[in-house]
Structure 1
Amino acid sequence: MILKHSKIDLTIEHLNARSFVNFLVELQNLLDYIGDKLLSSSQSVSVAESVTSGFLQFSFSQMKDASKFFKGGITAYTLEEKLSLLNIDEKDAAANDCVSSNIAENMALEVAEIFKSDWSIGVTGYATPVEDSKNKLFAYFAISYKGNIILSEKLDLHSRTMSLKAQLYYSEFILGCLKLELDKTSIQS
């Protein structure tokens, strides 16, 4: 019985490892696609993030020739940093624990201005359930293009999602949305 239990655990770990490898392959394909689109259109991107803790910036840095289109990013985790670095409205930030669609949109617009980028992303939210989030996991993100918000969404996750998985999910979803927006602008051009 113990051996069987060990085999089951091993199989579950193996499946999780296989799932993780598949995730990494899909993520790399997504990163390659976004990088190619930005390079071929000679456009740039910047990021202001909180809940994703720099994972979006890390993702852009993994793209081929990233220095040709990735201008940089800011990870502003606290109210003070969002106020001083991203000029977020203090009253709005205090009323919403810095987590709202308006905050994400302002983060995206401000980071685009700071880095003079064509595209930008702002994201804020919760990767662990806390009292301020009413013990729920969610994030708001916004994508701007040439100084205009073109997408602003809220992502909800199950409250028992591990924080690392929540951050990875938020990041991958946002990058997928950026891919779609890049495709839309190339069709319109």
Structure 2
Amino acid sequence: MFANDADLLHRIAAALLRRHECFGTAESCTGGLIAAACTDLPGSSQWFERGVVTYSNEAKTELLGVPAALIARHGAVSAEVAERMAAGLLERAPLHWALAVTGIAGPTGGSAEKPVGTVWLALAQRGQSVQVWRELFGGDRQAVRLQTLRAGLGALDRALRQP
């Protein structure tokens, strides 16, 4: 499933190893797909520290410290929740980088405001501000999840190449 992503994962692994840094994920709509892709790479335990699947709102609150009131105000699929998921993972784990994703993979669950394929991603580096962005992906459930994986890991790859 991740063969097309091997080069991307190798670049990320090499950069994290070179920097002596580690990475983790807080995933909702991808259900651990990003962590699975990372751990498919032999030796990933040297740079991938953990992945947390917080599919329910309660899990986001209990495991990542996302305030229930924030979810109630903005919805689980929002910039605010994605940002808090990434920040919450950094607060709870010995990581340098955290990637959080929350979205609507479909085929149901969308609305006019948040159609199927809407995904919010957040990339956090310890000691830096959290980068948050929205994507609107097409295709079926699996396509949305794979595009989310590639968008998130692509952002990490680009960030790791910054001086």
Q: TM-score, normalised by structure 2?
A: 0.91
Q: Matches of 2:84 and 2:68 in 1, distance apart?
A: 12
The answer as to 2:18 corresponding to 1:31 is: no
Q: Matches of 1:109 and 1:65 in 2, distance apart?
A: 26
Deviation at 1:125, TM superposition (A): 0.6
Deviation at 1:26, TM superposition (A): 3.4
Q: Which residue of 2 aligns with 1:125?
A: 103
Deviation at 1:67, TM superposition (A): 0.9
2:140 equivalent among 162, 177, 180: 162
Q: Which residue of 2 aligns with 1:6?
A: none
Deviation at 1:27, TM superposition (A): 0.5
Q: Which residue of 2 aligns with 1:177?
A: 155
Q: Which residue of 1 aligns with 2:116?
A: 136
Q: Which residue of 1 aligns with 2:59?
A: 81
Q: Matches of 2:75 and 2:91 in 1, distance apart?
A: 24
Deviation at 1:150, TM superposition (A): 4.2
Q: Matches of 2:144 and 2:137 in 1, distance apart?
A: 7
Change in CA separation of 1:131 and 1:162 when aligned onto 2, cut-off 3 Å: closer
Q: TM-score, normalised by structure 1?
A: 0.79
How many residues align structurally?
Answer: 161
Asked if the contact 1:47/1:57 (under 8 Å) is kept, the reply is yes
Indicate the SS of the match to 1:92. Answer: helix
Gaps of 5+ in 1: 1-19
Structure with higher Rg: it is: 1
Q: Which residue of 2 aligns with 1:14?
A: none
Q: Matches of 1:174 and 1:65 in 2, distance apart?
A: 21
Indicate the SS of the match to 2:69. Answer: helix
The answer as to 2:23 corresponding to 1:58 is: no
Q: Aligned letter for 2:116? A: K
CA RMSD of aligned residues (A): 1.7
Q: Matches of 2:21 and 2:108 in 1, distance apart?
A: 38
More helix, by proportion: 1
Deviation at 1:87, TM superposition (A): 0.9
Q: Matches of 2:102 and 2:129 in 1, distance apart?
A: 15
